[in-house]
Structure 1
Amino acid sequence: MELKTLLDMHYQHVQTHPDKLFLQQPKGDKLETYTWAEFDAVVRRVASGLQAMDLPKGSHIALLSKNCAEWFIADLAIMMAGHVSIPIFPTAGESTIQYVLKHAQCPVVFVGKLDDPEPQLAAIPDDIKTIGFPYPGCDTQISWEQMCQNPAVEGEFRPALDDIMTIIYTSGSTGSPKGVVHTYGSICWAAQSSLKALTVNGDDRIVSYLPLAHITERVLVEAAAYFSGMQISFIESLDTFTRDVKQAQPTLFISVPRLWTRFQMGILAKMPQKKLNFLLAIPFVGKAVARKIRQQLGLDKARLWASGSAPISPATIEWFHRIGINISEGWGMTENSAYGTGSVPFRVDKIGSIGRPYEGVDIRISDEGEIQVKAPCNMKEYYLEPEKTAEVFTDDGYLRTGDKGEIDAEGYVRITGRLKDIFKTAKGKYVTPVPIEAKIMENAIIEQVCVTGSNLKQPIALLVLAEETRNKAKDELHQSLQNTLTAVNDSLESHQVLDHFIVMSEPWTIENDLLTPTLKVKRHILEDRFADVINQKHDQPVVWLTASS
């Protein structure tokens, strides 16, 4: 295939269908829209504003905002001005913002939609220019209105495929974030290839709400939109989520396990599982009920549903399958442009796997059981960290993923754990927590879980219950958890058997530093913070912590 860049595709869309709708941004009762031509006009003015700053070519320009139309505009303007984008998660704390801006040596940062803009803006050093998107709290040196008053850039700047397009800082669960360097070639190969793999075309509609600072949204939503010409809609706020999804009528919908579980619990809060089972079992009635549920979620026009970022419970996928939502699990990393494997088309018999390698992606299992991957979408390097770059690649150019896995006879890959998460009990036996956690998560009332137990006689599990369980009787929840513990232990080898469950009193969040921005549990921080709780002896199979514990 002839590889093109996002700018190549942008110019093509503007030329061939300038009046086609590209972006929809809800703002209150209004819907702000951009055709390709209108989008181009604003991009050129913002690019002109960046060029007027007289920065060296290839300067690093940061983006700190939730998803919005202006994020897309600023990102393409950075490319058009000949610079490199540095996205920062909109939930990033002061130390992360300061680390990324300093490490990436950013002279300018775009600031946009944020839940708590004041401390985040305060974290930006005074010598870095700030440009604000048109949202409340964006008190910056340069306003969006000022940027849009610049004369439009003329001509068609076309970067080379081996030019650096972006540096994406990992949301890793250990240590400082690493800057993953991607060229136009690596990002665009993944985005362009995804059209065939996921059968995406210009008639598709998708909602962009998972952080654009994350590789999956950046490649499979934003970048793929340039190659397909599909329509993008945004979410105004958490409160308007359902309204905005219904308005967008997406044909493609990507989410993460935690949100799929939230959707499930929201449905069950309105209709208990027994009643739902009864209705779904009735011919004709079952189909009507399933359709009604999809309509309430705003997903009745969708033909492809996906989940990524973290493992999703097979039980969750099976539950949604019964209401006509077939969630295809996929796998990828920041280091390989989120383009590794996919379960498309959906197959019930392959639930629990992460699918097969996409065309052009070579995956192998090392002697240690590690999944290793080679493809044109692999990163160039870790920014300013040659030692870590050398460590992550094998001598023959495969990326070491850190995931343990296996491949079946049909080429479907199954992740069996993380190499670094495996721990040894006091009996000297090794335990791989991920498969056990997947079994525990089959109980829908459990939203978060971490199996731990280094140097304990037997492993234990820390749990956070779904928010929707607050209205349920504690006795009912206790019995449900005890039943799950028994069922899980019956399926485990003796050294894996869980001694007890500990139900945490507070959820694990990005704000309390127990989740990464992509909602992965920071296992080492959790184990360190709750070391006393973990190492304490408990007589009961299910232990409930109080806020003061």
Structure 2
Amino acid sequence: MTDTQTLIENRPPSVAALFTERVSATPDAEAFRYPVPSASGQGPDEWKSLSWGGTAERVYAIAAGLIGLGIGPEDRVALLAATRVEWILSDLGVMCAGGATTTIYPSTNAEESAFILSDSASKVLIAEDAVQLAKAREHRTELPELQHVVVIDATGVEPAEGDPEGWVLTLAELEKRGAAHLETRPAAVKERIGAITADQLATLIYTSGTTGRPKGVRLPHDNWSYMAKAIAQTGLVGKDDVQYLWLPLAHVFGKVLTSGQIEVGHVTAVDGRIDKIIENLPVVQPTYMAAVPRIFEKVYNGVAAKARAGGGAKYKIFRWAAGVAREYAKVSQDNFRRTGSRTVPFRLGAQHKIADALVYSKLREAFGGRLRAAVSGSAALSPEIGYFFSGAGIHILEGYGLTESSAASFVNPGEAYRTGTVGKPLPGTEVRIADDGEVLLRGPGIMQGYHGQPEKTAEVLEEDGWLHTGDIGELSPDGYLRITDRKKDLIKTSGGKYIAPTEVEIQFKAACPFASNIVVIGADRNFCTALIALDGPTLLGWAEEQGMGGKPYAEVVAAPATRELIQGYVDRVNGGLQRWQTIKKFRLLPRDLDVEHGDLTPSLKLKRPAVERQFRHLIDEMYEGTREA
């Protein structure tokens, strides 16, 4: 047995036990940084710090407070809040009390929030503010199990008619009660932690899903203990790293990052406000961060738009530098694969040095200047965008996993990363490719099943532990996985040809700097079409140059010049596709796709059926008068 196997197999039974080990090992070390708005509301936020010992004090107070509210082993406590330090403290508090956290996205509407609260039988809800509290109040009579709501930010929270006495309290009040409880029973929380077993439910995450009602994925403590140890063993993060965490913690990708941090002991700066990312990066100066592909696409499009706005010469330099970055990344990665060295020919190295001074160094500074690696997950990243960032010195390590596999099943191995793949399996995770190309996973990160849905569980989880992921993939001889598409998303045209829409969509987003989202359509049709949404800031910047300054997005999208612009990119992409894959017609959408309209999941995955329903009239228009099979 290797040292790695020993470390992973001898993992503690719970996240709570892992947390107490971390606190004992480095009580005075910095654990978290978090922003506090300035008193005046003007000017930059002030960043405060919390040590591991200080974190434990608050976590144990929350845990004791929850015990006082009647939370017992595996009792569900729902968390309905954006990514903030209190989310992490509350989640740890729930687990240290022996309870299980039910996660709910703050963007979830009142009806679906009530469904999750009811389906999970959550006894306590920890809500971010008055807005989230209102969702529970709206459906309170339908939630007999819900005994208390704890509000993190009490601003604007007022007593409401119909609230049972003591139904609403603040997080500060909960912590105060917990601290008092620990004065009389100092061992209360440690006793709970000591009684937690590896198979005890820790987290219930409802898949946002691209269709139908969300399903509750049951993830026990052992999943997270394994993930913590396996992430540490990859060597991707070390104790001196500073992580910038903005991903939604209600999503499994964000959640798994907290487990890895507890094991490694590095600092995490927490702020879920997406509109603050650009402002925060130079302040936080992270060495490591995780993101979804849409963020890297937006950064790339933004840099390209800025260069274009700077005039013809600047844009020409940017395009040259982008080409050099991609070539440099491809050559250096290929050489590393063959020889273990990232050497490149002298001429390419000299070009890269000039491009670095002109373009790449500024890009790295925008990320804070110290970013060693960024992990990308949740959806496929365009290889062309991946190669650009790689060549610019921002190394994007793609990873892969599902809610059902505790998020991190694969990740690219540090310096040996390969753009366009999701890397190798984490230590202890097995993979095989089924006859139809589906990726199957087995290991300690796999869920127990879907909450209260044994039939649904049996559809994806075999008796011998193999999980059917629903993704189509290929394994290289040396174990690197490439995901090619979702099994259910594969298109079969009326001519009998199979098409992977994601492949075409990725190519288009890489070629067209104006693209935000694209949905390729063609199932049971005799040719492929596409719905294309454009990136607002990039498009409006171009519109200014075309004499359309000040016009709204929808009007610019409808302009003949815009259609002609995008037709050029469609033609370019079509030139590299098989005839049956080509986009014969397209329509530009009057708005971008977003979470609010139900087009994307909170982790920014495309909800194809929802988009097709919403814009059915445009699809029908494209196929009008054509003969269908």
Q: State the TM-score, normalized to the length of structure 2.
A: 0.81
Q: Does 1:202 align with 2:239?
A: yes
Aligned equivalents of 2:274, 2:506: Cα separation in 1 = 28
Larger mean CA deviation between 488-497 and 446-455 belongs to 488-497
Aligned pair count reads 535
Aligned partners of 1:25 and 1:236 also within 8 Å: no
Q: Does 1:107 align with 2:107?
A: no
Measured at CA, do residues 204 and 398 of structure 1 come closer, stay the same or move farther in structure 2, by a change above 3 Å? same
Aligned partners of 2:382 and 2:509 also within 8 Å: yes
SS in structure 1 opposite 2:172?
A: helix
**Which residue is equivalent to 1:320?**
389
**Which residue is equivalent to 1:545?**
none
Letter in 2 for 1:313: S
Deviation at 1:98, TM superposition (A): 1.1
Aligned partners of 2:22 and 2:263 also within 8 Å: no
**Which residue is equivalent to 1:535?**
620
Deviation at 1:123, TM superposition (A): 4.4
2:18 to 9, 19, 25: 9
Aligned partners of 2:207 and 2:216 also within 8 Å: yes
Q: Does 1:303 align with 2:311?
A: no
Q: Deviations over 1:111-142 (max 9, x none)?
A: 1169x547535445255321011364566810
The structure having more radius of gyration, on CA atoms, is 2
Larger mean CA deviation between 151-160 and 499-508 belongs to 151-160
Aligned partners of 1:61 and 1:83 also within 8 Å: yes
**Which residue is equivalent to 1:469?**
539
2:518 to 426, 439, 449: 449
**Which residue is equivalent to 1:543?**
none
Deviation at 1:359, TM superposition (A): 2.1
**Which residue is equivalent to 1:392?**
460
> Where do 5+ consecutive residues of structure 1 fail to align?
540-549
**Which residue is equivalent to 2:217?**
180
Q: Does 1:145 align with 2:187?
A: no
Measured at CA, do residues 199 and 93 of structure 1 come closer, stay the same or move farther in structure 2, by a change above 3 Å? same
Aligned equivalents of 1:163, 1:449: Cα separation in 2 = 42
Aligned partners of 2:81 and 2:132 also within 8 Å: no
**Which residue is equivalent to 1:251?**
287
Deviation at 1:270, TM superposition (A): 2.5
Aligned partners of 2:241 and 2:288 also within 8 Å: yes
Equivalent residue runs for 1:214-253 within 5 Å: 214-219=251-256, 221-235=257-271, 237-253=273-289
Letter in 2 for 1:263: V
**Which residue is equivalent to 1:425?**
493
Measured at CA, do residues 239 and 423 of structure 1 come closer, stay the same or move farther in structure 2, by a change above 3 Å? closer
Aligned equivalents of 1:256, 1:183: Cα separation in 2 = 25
Deviation at 1:37, TM superposition (A): 1.4
SS in structure 2 opposite 1:536?
A: helix
Q: Does 1:368 align with 2:384?
A: no
Aligned equivalents of 2:480, 2:154: Cα separation in 1 = 45
Aligned partners of 2:236 and 2:413 also within 8 Å: no
Q: Does 1:74 align with 2:143?
A: no
Q: Deviations over 1:137-159 (max 9, x none)?
A: 56681012211212434332232
**Which residue is equivalent to 1:335?**
404
Aligned equivalents of 2:520, 2:321: Cα separation in 1 = 36
Aligned partners of 1:453 and 1:534 also within 8 Å: no
Q: Does 1:131 align with 2:140?
A: no
Measured at CA, do residues 537 and 69 of structure 1 come closer, stay the same or move farther in structure 2, by a change above 3 Å? closer
Aligned equivalents of 1:142, 1:452: Cα separation in 2 = 50
Letter in 2 for 1:51: I
Aligned equivalents of 1:366, 1:279: Cα separation in 2 = 41
User: Which one has a larger percent helix, Structure 1 or Structure 2?
Assistant: 2
Deviation at 1:322, TM superposition (A): 2.8
Larger mean CA deviation between 281-290 and 254-263 belongs to 281-290
Aligned equivalents of 1:138, 1:44: Cα separation in 2 = 25
1:274 to 291, 299, 316: 316
Q: Deviations over 1:191-244 (max 9, x none)?
A: 21011214322211111110011111111x211111011111122734432332
Q: Does 1:290 align with 2:305?
A: no
Aligned equivalents of 1:73, 1:172: Cα separation in 2 = 27
Aligned equivalents of 1:97, 1:147: Cα separation in 2 = 23
Letter in 1 for 2:585: H
**Which residue is equivalent to 2:81?**
65
Larger mean CA deviation between 351-360 and 138-147 belongs to 138-147
Identity over aligned pairs, percent:
28
Q: Does 1:524 align with 2:609?
A: yes
Aligned equivalents of 1:174, 1:26: Cα separation in 2 = 36
Q: Does 1:410 align with 2:478?
A: yes
Measured at CA, do residues 122 and 450 of structure 1 come closer, stay the same or move farther in structure 2, by a change above 3 Å? farther
Aligned equivalents of 1:32, 1:388: Cα separation in 2 = 45
Measured at CA, do residues 242 and 138 of structure 1 come closer, stay the same or move farther in structure 2, by a change above 3 Å? farther
**Which residue is equivalent to 1:211?**
248
Deviation at 1:497, TM superposition (A): 2.3
Measured at CA, do residues 533 and 332 of structure 1 come closer, stay the same or move farther in structure 2, by a change above 3 Å? same
Q: State the TM-score, normalized to the length of structure 1.
A: 0.92
Aligned equivalents of 2:355, 2:571: Cα separation in 1 = 32
Deviation at 1:276, TM superposition (A): 2.1
Aligned equivalents of 2:154, 2:269: Cα separation in 1 = 17
Aligned equivalents of 2:299, 2:465: Cα separation in 1 = 41
**Which residue is equivalent to 1:354?**
422
Q: Does 1:171 align with 2:208?
A: yes
Aligned equivalents of 2:95, 2:461: Cα separation in 1 = 28
Larger mean CA deviation between 150-159 and 503-512 belongs to 150-159
Aligned equivalents of 2:134, 2:542: Cα separation in 1 = 37
Aligned equivalents of 2:95, 2:212: Cα separation in 1 = 30
**Which residue is equivalent to 2:549?**
none
Deviation at 1:440, TM superposition (A): 1.2
Larger mean CA deviation between 105-114 and 434-443 belongs to 105-114
Aligned equivalents of 1:529, 1:39: Cα separation in 2 = 45
Aligned equivalents of 1:56, 1:360: Cα separation in 2 = 31
Aligned partners of 1:451 and 1:459 also within 8 Å: yes
Measured at CA, do residues 123 and 421 of structure 1 come closer, stay the same or move farther in structure 2, by a change above 3 Å? farther
Aligned equivalents of 2:355, 2:378: Cα separation in 1 = 32
Q: Deviations over 1:67-113 (max 9, x none)?
A: 11111111111111111110111211122201110100011100116
Letter in 2 for 1:295: E
Q: Deviations over 1:274-326 (max 9, x none)?
A: 2324567656443334222211232x212111111011111111221232112
Equivalent residue runs for 1:438-517 within 5 Å: 438-442=506-510, 443-467=512-536, 468-473=538-543, 477-517=562-602
Larger mean CA deviation between 516-525 and 423-432 belongs to 423-432
**Which residue is equivalent to 1:546?**
none
Aligned equivalents of 1:355, 1:309: Cα separation in 2 = 14
Deviation at 1:31, TM superposition (A): 2.3
Aligned partners of 1:26 and 1:236 also within 8 Å: no
SS in structure 2 opposite 1:37?
A: helix
Aligned partners of 2:31 and 2:266 also within 8 Å: yes
Aligned partners of 1:328 and 1:346 also within 8 Å: no
**Which residue is equivalent to 1:18?**
27
